[in-house]
Amino acid sequence: MLFRTHLATLALAASASALLAFSARAEGKLDVVASFSIIADFAQNVGGDRIALTTLVGPNGDAHVYEPKPSDAVAVAGADVVLVNGLEFEGFLPRLLEAAGTKAPIIELTKGGEVLKPEEDGGHSHGAEAKQADGHDHAGHDHSHDHAGHDHGEYDPHAWQSVHNAETYVNNIADAFCAADAAGCDVFKANAAAYVEKLEALEAEIKSTVSAIPEEKRIVITAHDAFGYFEHEYGIDFIAPEGVSTEAEASAKDVAAIIGQIKEQRASAVFLENITDPRLIEQIAADTGVKVGGTLFSDALTDASGAAPTYLEMMRHNINTIKAAIIGS
C-alpha cells in the first residue's frame, strides 16, 4: 500500500509538470535529467550552456538506495533527454519512469562500453570477465553475482571507474544531445572531443601514478565493491566486505573472511567511502592493524567544497590518496 501511495504521489506530481516545472525550452535549452552526480558532470561538460540540467541523486548521494521524490517525477516527465547508467545501477528508475510517463529517450550510457561480470565469490572483482555492453561477449561463462542473498544483476554497474569507459559515456551523451538538438550538434561534438582529451590525459596520469607503487603493495580494502573496473584497468587490487551494491550488508562470516584475507595478503591500507557507513571499515582496520588511508569516492561526487566535485578531480583524488597511503605522497 505504501508503495502504491508513493507511486500515485509521483504520478500526480508528474501530471502537474507543465505548471510546476521550469521550462528550459523557453530559453531554447535542452532539458536534460541525469540520474546521479557523475553522469551530471559528464553531461554538463558536453552540453555546456545549451542544456538545463537536473540531477536526481546529488553530491554524496547513494543511488543504490535512493528513493525518488515527486519533484524527480516532474523533472523526468518534462525532460527532452534522460541520462542513466544502466546495468541495474539505478534501482529506483523503473518505478520513477512509470510514474513520470515520460516520452523522452532514456539513454543508457554504458552501452558500447566494456563491462565486467563480478565473480561469484561474494564481490571481489579480481579477474572479472569482460564484455561489450552491446552484447558481444569476450568470455563465455556466466558469473552472475548474488551477495548476501541480494541479486545485483549480471554485470558490475560501476563502469565509470574505468576512464576508457568514461569516454564511452561522454560520446553517448554527445550522440543523444545531437539527436535531440541537431542545431547544437557541432557544439556538443566539440565539447565532447575537448573533454575526451582531458580524460586521455587523466588516464595517462593514473597509470603513471600506479607505476610508482610497488606491485606487491597494490592491495587495499574498501567498504563496497565499487572499484572492479579501476582494478581491471590499472592494477590496484581491491578487497571489499560488501557486494557491488551498498544495499548488501556484509555478514559476520564475510567480515571474518575479509580479515583473514587481509592478513594473508598483507593489504597496505583500508579506505572509507563517502557513501558508506565508516564503522565497518574502522572495525576491520582495528582488527587487522592496517591503517585507514583516507576517503575514496566511488558512486558520487562531492559538492563544490569537497575533494571531488568533478569526475576528473574524483579520479585524481582516489589514485593520489591510494598512493599516499601506501608509499607516501
Q: Is 135 exposed, middle or buried (0-12, 13-18, 19+ CB in 10 A)?
A: exposed
Tell me, what amino acid is at 263? K
Residue with cell 584497468: 233
- CA-to-CA distance for 48 and 94, rounded, in angstroms? 28
Q: Is 96 exposed, middle or buried (0-12, 13-18, 19+ CB in 10 A)?
A: buried
CA quadruple 107, 230, 91, 166: dihedral, nearest 10: -10
Tell me, what amino acid is at 192? A
Max intra-chain CA distance, the chain? 62
Residue 116: what are its φ and ψ, rounded to 5°?
Answer: -110, 145
User: pLDDT for 256-294, tens place per residue?
Assistant: 877 887 777 778 898 888 766 678 778 888 888 888 899
Query: Please, what is the end-to-end C-alpha distance for the chain in angstroms?
Result: 54
Which is more confident, 36 or 118? 36
DSSP percent split of the chain into helix, strand, coil, nearest 5: 45, 15, 40
Q: How confident is the model at residue 250 (pLDDT cuts 50, 70, 90)?
A: low
- CA-to-CA distance for 90 and 85, rounded, in angstroms? 7
Neighbours of 142 (CB within 10 A): 10
Please give the pLDDT value at position 25: 56
Mean pLDDT of the chain: 83
Q: Is the pLDDT of residue 135 over 60?
A: no
For the ranges 98-107, 263-272, 311-320, which has the lowest average pLDDT? 263-272
User: pLDDT for 44-101, tens place per residue?
Assistant: 999 999 999 999 999 999 998 999 999 999 999 999 999 999 999 999 999 999 999 9
Query: Which of 231, 234, 180 has its CA nearest to residue 206?
Result: 234
User: pLDDT for 143-168, tens place per residue?
Assistant: 333 333 334 578 999 999 999 999 99
DSSP state for residue 118 in the 8-state scheme: P
**Is 160 in contact with 84 (CB distance < 8 Å)?**
no
Query: Which of 257, 266, 273, 162 has its CA nearest to residue 222?
Result: 273
- CA-to-CA distance for 56 and 68, rounded, in angstroms? 8
Query: Span 110-115, mean pLDDT?
Result: 97
- CA-to-CA distance for 90 and 136, rounded, in angstroms? 23
Q: Is the pLDDT of residue 313 over 50?
A: yes
Q: How confident is the model at residue 106 (pLDDT cuts 50, 70, 90)?
A: very high
User: pLDDT for 7-56, tens place per residue?
Assistant: 555 445 444 444 444 455 557 899 999 999 999 999 999 999 999 999 99
Please give the pLDDT value at position 28: 87
Q: Is 157 exposed, middle or buried (0-12, 13-18, 19+ CB in 10 A)?
A: buried
Please give the pLDDT value at position 247: 55
Q: Is the pLDDT of residue 134 over 90?
A: no
Q: In order of start, what are the domains of the chain with their CATH numbers?
A: 2-112+160-196 (3.40.50.1980), 203-327 (3.40.50.1980)
Which is more confident, 216 or 8? 216
**Is 35 in contact with 124 (CB distance < 8 Å)?**
no
**Is 96 in contact with 10 (CB distance < 8 Å)?**
yes
Beta bridge partners, 220, equal 238, 269
